[in-house]
Amino acid sequence: MVAVATARRWCHAGAVPEASWNIAEVERWRGLAAVLWLGALLVWEMRRPSRLLFPTARERLVHGGRNLLIGGSNSALTAILFAASWKAVAIWSAHHRFGLAHRFDGSGLSSTAVALLAFDLWTWLWHRLNHRFPLLWRFHRMHHSDPAMDVTSANRFHPGEIVLSSLLRLPVIALVGLGFETLVLYETAMLAVVQWHHANIALPARLDRLLRVLIVTPAMHKVHHSRVPAETNSNYAALLSVWDRIFDTWRERPDPREIRFGLAGFDDTECQSLRGLLATPLADRDRR
């Protein structure tokens, strides 16, 4: 709250223009776009699924409803606790011309591109750290324990992981020199791509290969959700696929429809209940 108040004082004093986008308005429009895109992907899954995941419509509804409830709660959590702080840090960075992007102020386009690339690299690194460090993995494995990955699985993250990643964003936004509008642009693009590559859909193999030169695709991300540890610990990218090639964490499967999702030891009804999911960090049954 101190950071928010300080940022506002700078703006009112004329030191730096305040980011023109209202946080509440931005969240409303982003929420509407996310719901419409989610609806389109759900229809796609129903009309042309990659595989049969649910024997009955009720099972699909329970699975999706639980994941979306978790995702909605996490969205509210970040909007209430962190969005204003992210904006304040972005204003502070602009006021002090602090951060990597401000070294490329020759044109707004170049500084924006540098900021987006650097922030996406951080997203890749954070994901990899969640797989490397046992404490972080205890939270992140809730996402991987979904035995039926579909578009709603993109919302299935433990609140503890959301809080940790949101807190770490504060120094990263400053170091990158990320503007608030650029952050919103990145978050909107990433949300769309993440929902898409979790969806129970399959693109023509040739099109998937073409698209994953630039962005993460459904076939690429299905490998990451495999139960095979070597595949689970690969393909960490969320938006741009290039990082996995650069850092040698890229992995492919010629038969993505045959991949078995989930984590050994987390398949029973108790673990997959809402209560069990929230208790995932406390469970001692990870047999990776």
pLDDT tops 90 at residue 239: yes
Helices and strands (H, E) in the chain, number of each type: 14, 0
Nearest CA-CA partner of 197 in 12, 15, 50: 50
21-58: per-residue pLDDT in tens?
A: 666 676 777 778 888 999 999 999 999 999 989 999 99
Model pTM score: 0.88
Question: 31: which residues sit within 8 A by CB, 6+ positions away?
Answer: 75
Lookup: tokens for 94: 């602009």
Q: What average pLDDT does range 178-183 have in this prediction? A: 88
- Contact present, 288 and 233 (Cβ < 8 Å): no
Which tens digit of pLDDT belongs to each residue from 123-176?
999 999 999 999 999 999 999 999 999 999 999 999 999 999 999 999 999 999
State which amino acid sits at residue 107. S
Contacts with 202 (C-beta within 8 Å, 6 or more apart), sequence order: 48, 50, 208, 218, 219, 256, 257
Neighbours of 50 (CB within 10 A): 18
Integer Cα distance of 46 and 183 in angstroms: 32
Contact call for residues 158 and 142 (beta carbons, < 8 A): yes
What pLDDT sits at residue 46?
Answer: 92
Question: Can you name the residues that pair with 261 across neighbouring β-strands?
Answer: 226
Q: What are the distances in angstroms from CA 36 to CA 42, 156, 176, 194?
A: 10, 18, 31, 14
**Spatial CA neighbour of 67 closest among 198, 250, 207, 236:** 198
Contacts (Cβ under 8 Å, ≥6 apart) of 188: 30, 33
Report the mean per-residue pLDDT for the chain. Answer: 88
**Chain-centre distance for alpha carbon 197:** 11
Q: Give me the DSSP letters along 171-194.
A: HHHHHHT--HHHHHHHHHHHHHHH
Spell 64-80 as b/e; 16+ CB within 10 A means b: bebbbebbeebbeebbe
What was the pLDDT predicted at 32?
83
Residues constituting the chain: 288
Identify whether the C-beta of residue 182 lies closer than 8 Å to the C-beta of residue 190. no
Closest among 222, 232, 233, 227 to 200, alpha carbons compared:
222
